[in-house]
Structure 1
Amino acid sequence: MGRADERRARQRGGHRAAPPQPSGTHAPGVGGRAEARRAAQGKGRSKGRGKAGKDGRSLIRRMFTWKKVVGTLLGLCLLGMGAFIALYMMIGIPEGNADAQLQSNVYKYSDGTLMTRDGQRNREVVDLAKVPKKVQLTFVAAENKTFYKDAGVDLRGTARGLLNTVAGRGAQGGSTITQQYVKNYYLTQEQTVTRKLKELVISLKLDREKSKDYILAGYINTSYYGRGAYGIQAAAQAYYRVDADELTVEQGAYLAALLQAPSQYDWASASETGKKLVKERWNYVLDNMVEEGWLDQGKRTSMTFPVPKDPKAAPGMGGQVGYLVDAANNQLARQLVAQGTADNVNDAVTMVKAGGWNITLNIDKKRQAALEEAAKTQLTSKLDPKERDVDADVQAGAVSVDPKTGAVVALYGGQDYYKHFRSNATRVDYQPASTFKPVILAAAFDEAAKTQDGKEIDANTLYDGTSKRPVVDNGVKVGFAPENEDDASYGDVTVQTAMNKSVNSVFAQMGVDVGMDKVLKVAGQMGMDTAELKSVPAQTLGTMGASPLQMAGVYATLDNHGKKVTPTILKSAESSTRTVDLPDPIGKQIISREAADSVTSVLTGVVDDGTAKVSVRDNTERDGRKVAGKTGTSDENRSAWFTGFTPDLVTSVGLFGEDHKTYAQVSMYKAGGVPRVNGGGFPAQIWAMYTFGVSSKNARFDLDTTQGAAVQPSQAPTPSDTPSQTPSQTPSESPSDTSSPPSETPSQTPSQTPSQTPTTTPPSQTPSQTPTEEIPDDPLNPNNEQ
């Protein structure tokens, strides 16, 4: 067979034909067979290796075809999209986390300056509209220039953050303003894949459901700026001592720069490197604003770095501040109940203390400082508990009111809020004593009341001023025979003189003449708490409880010509969710103008010819001011008062004996080194120093009356040919009722003196009342002190 034939045969048979044997060769021998066998084995091995390699390469090609790769990637994308859609459906916008919602309450003086902050978090949420537009844009320029265009997320930044979190490389930047707000307000600061995925989903939803302004406002109000300041309002105060609405662009750029590293960039504590970095950041913010067309290049060039002010400790609650804050909180709580926002005062107080309130008080900084100084100079500096134990038991409270507006312009609650938590300005557990007498006279004038013999009561009406003379009603003794101060008897005296000398017996009888139910009605209308008081003659002694705040309101009503004045410490109160509408402190006409003005006229005699003349009339700082007022000293010298007014200012000062260990009511005899604490002593001295330092020198009483010391000289007590049939026996400031039956004695609150008709003080003891209020003048002892 030729070579061509062999080739064709191999192609047809699929293998090569055996090579032809050499000529003359027969069957192979042993050696030949071995060689043939080895050759066959080698050929088989070679053929197997080629087949295996060929099959492996085919398998890889079959598994990783382009169709399968594309399909797999598409499947993964679809799976990821499905998972994201599921997450989007499952994750909603949650409630804000509790920490992010914490705010402080901000309290301001009447002029808008900061008084203090109170709360767990120094944050005050402000509306975006109160932040200047260009200041808003500094934050956008610093953190997220595409804020107004993007969908609320930065996918590349988020992906980078996820990878870094998985790799354990910590937090990474790149989030949008929306994402940062979501992290601050809705989530936490933890670095986990779950939190980042939630952040992404919530940010997308928030961007769809809320406006950009809403998100930006949330961001700048929840971010931390250093110095303990959360939110832009607190930051503006912490760094520049201004409110957010007063920030300049330069200042706003600094605050925006701070957010990257608050501690490192605080100018007051930053290293040189930190100062360099924050300046670079500040420039970066402003340059971005120019680039975005938000800031004129010329203005940008002229801007200089606004160095922040040094840190200043936030004002605390010490001194008088705590008393002022408590008074404001309590009034706000009562108003929330009144307008239906809260069911009861306790719930309302909880709402107030939850934070977020911006509260402006009527407190005038100058007058507040003057009242504090007067209390210190005229009282606390004279008390020495180391020398006299009783000095540690003296508490003082005072309230000053503008009678035309009802504004509480100053308040003194005690020596220090941290030392005596309860405010002496608002406590109602001590007797107002003889400061109640003008209320009785106001009711008499307003009711056109008559004496027992039918004569209309006026300033010149004569009453029997005999001590312990039984009170009579229609010829019948009512069982009440109170004692005058030091058992002094005055014979027949005019009402004017009885007020000047605080003759208790006169006003006890007058109360019966008017009708005690009418007296208490007028007292309640003027602001005293009389709802549960019995209409008995003993109430004429001022044995109910009252506070300096209440008594200031009563006298302010007199000063305001009979129109009701309700003292208010609140000027305004608002939170991020509500503004509280405050009632008008000036109410309706309670008593006639003539009645109110007549009482005021009579009360000028107490100052010019009565128990307050030494401390007030003869004060060198008076400078011709017109003054009306009344002293008061209660049973056993447990309280002493002076409540008085000029045409433009009413102030009530009270001193209270309170055991500094048990807080029980105690006497103040010998406190401050005087035998007895009189209403005409320390209280009147505090009143005079304060009032003559802050009231108008030119104000004059505009009185619609023809009676009283202000319009005619007071009459000296002279016997009457026909004595009044109305015996006046009300004890003066520390009365004694040894003849009234138990049924006549009104019930007392636990904190008050057990009996409203106190027993007579034994002669061997220190008199229970202020002598200046009841005994005749002694030229050798002008203060009438014993």
Structure 2
Amino acid sequence: MKIAKFIFTALFSLILLGAIGAGILYVNLKSELPDVASLKEVKLQLPMQIFTSDGKLIGEVGEERRIPAKLADIPQPLIDAVLATEDSRFYDHHGFDLKGIARATVALVKGGRKQGASTITQQLARNFFLTPERKLIRKLKELILATEIEQVMSKDEILELYLNKIYLGYRSYGVATAAQTYFGKELNQLTLSEMAVIAGLPKAPSTMNPIYSVKRAEQRRNTVLWRMLQENKITEAQYEQAKAEPIVSKFHKTVLDFNADYVTEMVRKEVVKLYGEETAYTKGFKVYATVLSKDQFAAQQALRENLINYDRRHGWRGATTLWKSDEEAWNEEDIIDHLSQLPNSEPFVPAAVLKTTKKEAQILLRDGETATLTLNGMKWARKYISKNSRGQTPTAVEQVIKTGQQIWVRNQSKNEKNDWELGQIPEVNSALVSLNSNNGAIEAAVGGFSYAQSNFNRVTQSMVQVGSSIKPFIYTAALNKGLSLATTLNDTPITIRKAGQEPWRPKNAPNIYEGKLRLRVGLGKSKNVMMVRTVRMIGIDYIAEYLQRFGFKREQYTATEALALGAASFTPLEMARGYAVFDNGGYLIDPFIIERIEDANGEELYKANPRIACISCNDIPVAYAEPSYFDFVQEDENEEVESLATAEEETLSDDFQIEPVAKTDDPSLIATAIETEQKVRYAPRVISGELAFLMRSALHSAAFGEAGQSWVGTSWRLAKALPRKDVGGKTGTTNNSKVTWYAGFGSNIVTTTYVAYDGNKELGKGEAGARTALPAWIDYMTVALSDKPQRNDKLPPNIIRVGIDAKYGLLGNDLSEYFIRGTEPKNRYIIEQGYQIPVANPDPTSDMPQTKELF
């Protein structure tokens, strides 16, 4: 009895000490743990979604892809599959499963395969509050947290949170996201087999998913189905049918209405500036860009087709070899795997050549389908020899492509699946950007042929020489100095000599000279020597300063005569901003890309409040001129613009106030951009309305010419494609045709585009702004203006129309010209019919009369 009493006392003491120790450990561990009640209010990380202004989804940004789903919307067989595999006694335990722990312990002691004993509640505790390290102390914390979670949340709440939180591979979190990622389906569209695949992923999401390994995914699926059968959740027949179903899976991205990757990246950067990366990527923001879906899609198509057309004009550069004729051909799986890793290059898709004959080739596409490519689909592919020459038109398929090569193709017919055409990724690149000239909203932006091929955004990052597209700004400075569109200058060769420098002899392109021409005609025909003479007449320093009125930074160009021919380098967005000054009546607007931002619940967090061009206003308050988000203007822009503006500062009337945007109570979500009062703000006027009107008129005639006159401007293609009175623009081509531009406007839309090699190579003979850049502008603006009414300009107060002589710009009856009052000609050109004295040695090249008049 003494021995038994001693043993009982010892055991009781040990149990008591163990309990005390466990209690102390529990208290200490609990003090280090977070409050699990926070799970009741948890907000799962949601990616940022980016929409067009009219609500089309164009992008998604965030490390975690997640589609939240209510438990009631998750199919019961999928819930059964998860429970049967991960926690079959979920609705019976209180956070941890003693039977499961005992079973795992016995298996471990026997030396069998290690078994998991964590319940769904424990996994939830680990995912939210703990690290995945395998230590006893972490396991104890997990048990404590699981117990407390069961006390504050119902079973259904725990299960719903788990099914939305669990990581399932390929950045996919939650079962609804996994259904989209692996099968491209909604939850209610999944088969039993596909549900079992998803339910088996938590064990090893990176290696058991069907994209990584169909074999391993199939093995894991079968295990899940067997567990469901054991738990009586499915019948034997269902088990056999699901087990026999082949797994068909591929990676499915978020379903977008269409891709607009360059816009998505522009928006992402701006949201990160406002909120920081962690908030921007995890709060489920819905960001509405300023772009219009119709215009953006048209811009992307126009730019790509224009580059493809240029590329084809210069020939076929050849394909990439995967295997040679004397080597063993790749198997289909390896080919598809290789093609799937190639970057997206719409409208082209990658393919491999399996077999060729004289008239056709059999090709394998990235999606695993085979197709036929005929000789007719590659007739364009004359061999590239140099930038100015190509080989002969191919007469056999083997002259262009060979078996074992990787090529690019596109389907030319919407109805015929086999109407394939050989493609080629252009080496040349381009950008196109379109603004609302009244407020600066970016309505379309394309930074290159393919974002996947090159994420360099040429809209905002490409500083390239602008060529003759700078001329309207310089002519505006000349008009501001007192010249008029009827002023005549000599279009004759000129030589500029400066001490210690080689003589400079600027030339026209083409190298044709026509004597005296009016400024309107000189701009329309893009006469270089007339531009140089204009610069020398009004002063290069004056022009260099004047250009800043259009938002150009002084450090971007040098004050030399070469500025007349476009030696300055600007981005397409800067050029669009400058041309908007002409279109909106003389106001410097700020480009912006975000219209509004909503949180995950649809509450508005941010709303753009751009400065607008107030054409009907006489006095413009410049005190509200603030730098734009894109930082195109210097920090001291307010002072610079104020000194250039024609209006005086005044206080805004309460009549112009608008309601402030909705805000959040969460300080971390309040963007500094909306802390200021939301009032109507006006852009500063940087040139007069009269100057803007004259330049719009001149740029219109660059396309349409003048009534009754036979001259043709460099933008004549525009007149044929868009016969509207409110359109106009200017071509631009740099020396040796390295960069080509077109910038213009129509119905309060201003658009600029350029084409060039990133490496500054020559584009080739015959390539110029009118041929190389203008077609993309026309294709885009045809769509953008299709639903816009034609704008009819009213004459500004100080503009008058005067009849002039077409040749010399003096008073006459040939045509009418617009003038700022006071700059109109005072003299009439008349050839007297009296006695005339012949001029000795008359100059046959002169356009002036060869007689002297007697008065």
Q: Is the structural similarity TM-score above 0.5?
A: yes
Number of the residue aligned with 2:525 = 501
Question: Is contact 2:433–2:444 with CA below 8 Å preserved after alignment?
Answer: yes
Q: State the secondary structure of the residue aligned to 1:499.
A: helix
1:380 pairs with one of 301, 307, 311: 311
2:728 pairs with one of 628, 633, 642: 628
Number of the residue aligned with 1:436 = 470
Number of the residue aligned with 2:583 = 559
Number of the residue aligned with 2:795 = 705
Q: CA deviation at 1:366?
A: 2.9
Q: CA deviation at 1:92?
A: 6.3
How many residues are paired up? 592
Q: CA deviation at 1:616?
A: 2.0
Change over 3 Å in CA distance of 1:517–1:189 after alignment to 2: same
Number of the residue aligned with 1:304 = none
Question: Is contact 1:462–1:720 with CA below 8 Å preserved after alignment?
Answer: no
Counterparts of 1:283-682 in structure 2 under 5 Å? 311-314=250-253, 323-332=262-271, 336=273, 361=289, 362=291, 364=293, 366-376=297-307, 378-384=309-315, 385=317, 386-390=383-387, 394-404=428-438, 406-417=440-451, 419-420=453-454, 422-444=456-478, 449-451=480-482, 457-468=483-494, 482-485=506-509, 488-511=512-535, 519-520=543-544, 523-531=547-555, 533-571=557-595, 581=606, 583-587=608-612, 588-590=683-685, 591-609=687-705, 610-619=712-721, 622=722, 624=724, 626-647=726-747, 649-658=749-758, 663=759, 665-668=760-763, 671=764, 675-682=765-772
Change over 3 Å in CA distance of 1:463–1:356 after alignment to 2: same
Question: Structure 1: where are the runs of 5+ without partners?
Answer: 1-57, 286-307, 343-347, 452-456, 473-478, 723-775, 777-786
1:717 pairs with one of 807, 813, 837: 807
Amino acid paired to 1:561 = G
CA RMSD of aligned residues (A): 5.7
1:175 pairs with one of 93, 110, 119: 119
Amino acid paired to 2:717 = S
Question: Structure 2: where are the runs of 5+ without partners?
Answer: 235-246, 318-382, 389-425, 613-682, 706-711, 813-846, 848-855
Change over 3 Å in CA distance of 1:523–1:585 after alignment to 2: farther
**Matched residues in 2 for 1:278 and 1:605: separation?**
79
Change over 3 Å in CA distance of 1:390–1:627 after alignment to 2: same
Q: CA deviation at 1:489?
A: 3.9
Counterparts of 1:187-206 in structure 2 under 5 Å? 187-189=130-132, 193-203=136-146
**Matched residues in 1 for 2:149 and 2:699: separation?**
67
- Residues 188-230 of structure 1, C-alpha deviation per residue, up to 9 Å, x if partnerless? 5566544321312445677899999998897455312456512
Number of the residue aligned with 1:301 = none
Change over 3 Å in CA distance of 1:251–1:515 after alignment to 2: farther
**Matched residues in 1 for 2:559 and 2:748: separation?**
34
Q: CA deviation at 1:444?
A: 5.0
- Residues 520-565 of structure 1, C-alpha deviation per residue, up to 9 Å, x if partnerless? 4554443433345444444233211112222223223433333334
Q: State the secondary structure of the residue aligned to 2:384.
A: coil
Amino acid paired to 2:21 = L
**Higher relative contact order (Cα pairs below 8 Å, separated by 6+ residues):** 1
Amino acid paired to 1:688 = I
Change over 3 Å in CA distance of 1:280–1:528 after alignment to 2: farther
1:84 pairs with one of 3, 26, 34: 26
Question: Is contact 2:471–2:566 with CA below 8 Å preserved after alignment?
Answer: yes
**Matched residues in 2 for 1:71 and 1:499: separation?**
104
Identity %: 19
Amino acid paired to 1:81 = G
Q: CA deviation at 1:638?
A: 1.8
Q: CA deviation at 1:421?
A: 5.3
Q: CA deviation at 1:323?
A: 4.2
**Matched residues in 1 for 2:456 and 2:804: separation?**
41
Counterparts of 1:111-150 in structure 2 under 5 Å? 112-115=55-58, 121=63, 123-124=64-65, 134-135=72-73
481-490 vs 76-85, greater mean Cα deviation? 481-490
More helix by share: 1
Q: Does 1:73 align with 2:168?
A: no
Amino acid paired to 1:380 = D
Amino acid paired to 1:655 = V
Change over 3 Å in CA distance of 1:376–1:437 after alignment to 2: closer
**Matched residues in 1 for 2:229 and 2:546: separation?**
71
Amino acid paired to 2:576 = A
527-536 vs 164-173, greater mean Cα deviation? 164-173
- Residues 572-601 of structure 1, C-alpha deviation per residue, up to 9 Å, x if partnerless? 568999998475455404334443233222
Question: Is contact 2:486–2:809 with CA below 8 Å preserved after alignment?
Answer: no
Q: State the secondary structure of the residue aligned to 1:564.
A: coil
**Matched residues in 2 for 1:368 and 1:415: separation?**
11
Change over 3 Å in CA distance of 1:254–1:571 after alignment to 2: farther
Amino acid paired to 1:601 = S
Question: Is contact 2:430–2:447 with CA below 8 Å preserved after alignment?
Answer: yes
Question: Is contact 1:379–1:686 with CA below 8 Å preserved after alignment?
Answer: no
**Matched residues in 2 for 1:315 and 1:159: separation?**
40
Q: State the secondary structure of the residue aligned to 2:460.
A: coil
Number of the residue aligned with 1:261 = 200
**Matched residues in 1 for 2:595 and 2:191: separation?**
30
Number of the residue aligned with 1:53 = none
**Matched residues in 1 for 2:226 and 2:210: separation?**
11
Number of the residue aligned with 2:415 = none
Q: CA deviation at 1:629?
A: 0.7
Amino acid paired to 1:430 = V
496-505 vs 73-82, greater mean Cα deviation? 73-82
Amino acid paired to 1:541 = L
Amino acid paired to 2:583 = D
Change over 3 Å in CA distance of 1:281–1:646 after alignment to 2: farther
- Residues 34-77 of structure 1, C-alpha deviation per residue, up to 9 Å, x if partnerless? xxxxxxxxxxxxxxxxxxxxxxxx44344345x66555533432
Give the TM-score taking structure 1 as reference length.
Answer: 0.59
Question: Is contact 1:593–1:704 with CA below 8 Å preserved after alignment?
Answer: no
**Matched residues in 2 for 1:597 and 1:236: separation?**
58
Question: Is contact 2:702–2:716 with CA below 8 Å preserved after alignment?
Answer: no
**Matched residues in 1 for 2:157 and 2:564: separation?**
61
**Matched residues in 1 for 2:271 and 2:804: separation?**
45
Change over 3 Å in CA distance of 1:112–1:150 after alignment to 2: farther
**Matched residues in 2 for 1:514 and 1:209: separation?**
80
Change over 3 Å in CA distance of 1:382–1:104 after alignment to 2: farther
**Matched residues in 2 for 1:557 and 1:281: separation?**
75
Q: State the secondary structure of the residue aligned to 1:414.
A: coil
Q: CA deviation at 1:250?
A: 9.1
**Matched residues in 2 for 1:164 and 1:712: separation?**
105
Change over 3 Å in CA distance of 1:69–1:693 after alignment to 2: closer
